[in-house]
Amino acid sequence: MGTGTAVWPGDQSFHLAWTLRRAAGDTVNVAALTLSPHTGTHADGPFHYDDDGACPAELDLSAYLGPAHVVDATGRTTLDTDLIDGLDLITAPRVLFRTREHVQPGRFPTEFAPLTTELAEQLGLRGARLVGTDAPSVDAFDSKRLDVHRILGRARIAIVENLMLGDVVPGRYTLIALPLKLVDADSSPVRAVLVDDGP
């Protein structure tokens, strides 16, 4: 994440300034950050799309930590239910969709593969705890109703967007992607890590 990181059109861009600098005679270097909580990889909190939804400080962190499937959806224009056929969502209830070979952090894509409402419903019925994507949103770019967000929210499924999955081989991993304890924000940046669970 840096000054060249692309953000949703109209959103706050990333800006870093310096409050204190050792080069100026201060004892330490201290930076000041201005950014949208949706900059880079982030957890979409329910308050983002629901005025009664939870803020990041209220989120259940266990959803963001545990066994996950990385699913290859490269080349898809939409993400549909066939992508989760055969996945064990009981022992690994997190699903991350890899839709692109390469993510360019400095370029915002207006064309990306959203989840269908049918897939969102199936994830809820099958007990998923988290859904992630390397796209900027689980809904389509031009969506005004955010139906997929709302379906996932009703099922208490956590959402992580803008993942960097270009070099990740599809398979099973342990996901660590904890949101910050932000009391009043709608969402939170995360540092997402996948740990290889082996064969």
pTM of the model: 0.95
Q: Above pLDDT 70, what percent of the chain?
A: 99
Which residue is catalytic, options 48, 69, 102, 149?
48
Query: In sequence order, what are the beta bridge partners of 43?
Result: 160, 188
Collapse the DSSP code of 69 into the 3-class scheme (helix H, G, I; strand E, B; otherwise coil) and give the result: strand
Mind listing the pLDDT tens digit for each residue in 64-123? 999 999 999 999 999 999 999 999 999 999 999 999 998 888 999 989 999 999 999 999
Q: Where are the domains of the chain?
A: 37-196
The residue-averaged pLDDT of 179-187 equals: 96
- 10 Å CB burial of residue 124 (0-12, 13-18, 19+) is middle
Tell me which residue of 66, 45, 49, 48 sits closest to 57, measured CA to CA. Answer: 45
CATH code of the domain made up of 37-196: 3.50.30.50
Express each pLDDT in 137-162 by its tens digit.
999 999 999 999 999 999 999 999 99
pLDDT for 199 equals 59
Q: Is 102 assigned a catalytic role?
A: no
